[in-house]
Structure 1
């Protein structure tokens, strides 16, 4: 039994640690005076540097159409979690909620996503 347990422990220790995709941990959306939206997104990612980092996030409508993409131009290894924004995103008035997902340069999409309601103009309420 000891030999079998030791072999199992060695096999588990020898396995590579799976990297995790980037997670969206928070989304804040505000309507601008011109009717566009300021969308701030907070991402947590197990970044290691230029070889693996969260390289973008996207805003999608309920049908999966991409409304906007925020490209992240560099790693944020020492800034976790981090927040970046799309300051003037156009969202059709028919869209009542958005889904936000993050992309990792190695893992792609697949981390935690967030769905948030779109604030309507006071005149629309």
Structure 2
């Protein structure tokens, strides 16, 4: 199973233009083919509901299709980095995927470090060149705090 591979980049990550981002720092996987649980560690520039990481997702690296999305119901201002688990993630051990974060609030966008690879080979930092899936369900219903 894949173990966490990357140390947190920052407790207040931004992209080159200064836009806040959600970095995927690490992924740990448990379970079996077609029924994995992903524990994803995120560093994000959360300030409250106006700026927070609102989901992480698993995307097929070849097709760009959404496989799984873990909605984050609230900001994590005082908990950085943070880890949240989700599943079942229905993939095969050798299936190539990208795990990426999303920032919600007033400026909704992707950005930040993504991890790519497979359960079999592990996950490493990759450039996220996959299409936006911001309108694909499931989507957050709001922010608790």
TM-score, normalised by the number of residues in structure 1 = 0.72
Matches within 5 A, 1:80-99: 80-91=80-91, 93=92, 96-99=95-98
Structure 1 position 107, deviation (Å): 4.7
- Runs of 4+ off more than 4 Å: none
* Structure with greater Cα Rg: 1
Q: How does 1:71-82 map to 2 (within 5 A)?
A: 71-82=71-82
1:31 aligns with 2:16: no
**Structure 2 partner of 1:21:** 21
2: CA distance, partners of 1:95 / 1:65: 16
Contact 1:21 1:111 in 2 (8 A): yes
Point out the structure with the larger helix share.
Answer: 1
Distance 1:110 1:61 in 2: 17
User: Alpha-carbon deviation of 1:39?
Assistant: 0.7
CA separation of 1:29 and 1:97: change in aligned 2, threshold 3 A:
farther
TM-score by length of 2: 0.63
Q: CA deviation digits over 1:87-110, x for unaligned, max 9?
A: 32111x385222100000125101
Q: What does residue 113 of structure 2 align with?
A: 112
Q: Supply the distance in 1 between the matched residues of 2:66 and 2:39 (Cα, whole angstroms).
A: 16
Where structure 1 has 5 or more consecutive residues not aligned to the other structure, the ranges are 1-16, 121-125
User: What is the total number of aligned residue pairs between the two structures?
Assistant: 102
Q: Which has the higher strand share?
A: 2
Once residues 102 and 94 of structure 1 are traced to their aligned partners in structure 2, the CA distance between those partners, rounded to angstroms, is 22
Calculate the aligned-residue CA RMSD, in Å.
2.2
The one-character-per-residue Cα deviations of 1:51-70 (angstroms, maximum 9, x if unpaired) are 10000011011121110000
Q: Does the 8 Å contact 1:61/1:95 carry over to 2? A: no
Structure 2's unaligned 5+ residue stretches are 1-16, 122-145
* Relative contact order, higher structure (CA 8 A, sep 6+): 1
